[in-house]
Amino acid sequence: MANVKEVQRIIDNNNVVVFSKTWCPYCKATKQTLNDLKAQYEVVELDNRNDGDELQDALLEISGQRSVPNIFFGKKHIGGNSDLQALAKSGQLKARLEEVGAFA
């Protein structure tokens, strides 16, 4: 329960959050796409945290997805890398990021 509260606190306190693992190629692709757009976002590297596995379990409870990257825009679950790349390919990603205030 405490882990669900921690994950929800992170989601609530950031316009864009990527729950990631440092070694994951899909996470790297997500972060690169956001970096290319110069978006401001919070990254939580689950493999660098002692409670990473518990947070990942909490993500399953919150979003229905345990895999990474697990992405949230404006407190709403977007999905994973394929979902983010689909938004980019359709030309909707920048507008979605602007809606949630991901640019300075």
Domain 2-99 in CATH 3.40.30.10: yes
Residue 68 CB neighbours (<10 A): 23
Q: At what angle do helices 2-12 and 52-63 cross, to 10 degrees?
A: 70
pTM of the predicted model as reported, rounded to 2 decimal places:
0.96
| pLDDT value at residue 1 | 67
The single-letter DSSP state of residue 91 is T
Tokens of 67: 């895999």
42-68 residue pLDDT tens: 999 999 999 999 999 999 999 999 999
Q: Count CA atoms closer than 13 A to 53's CA, side-chain side.
A: 1
17-33 residue pLDDT tens: 999 999 999 999 999 99
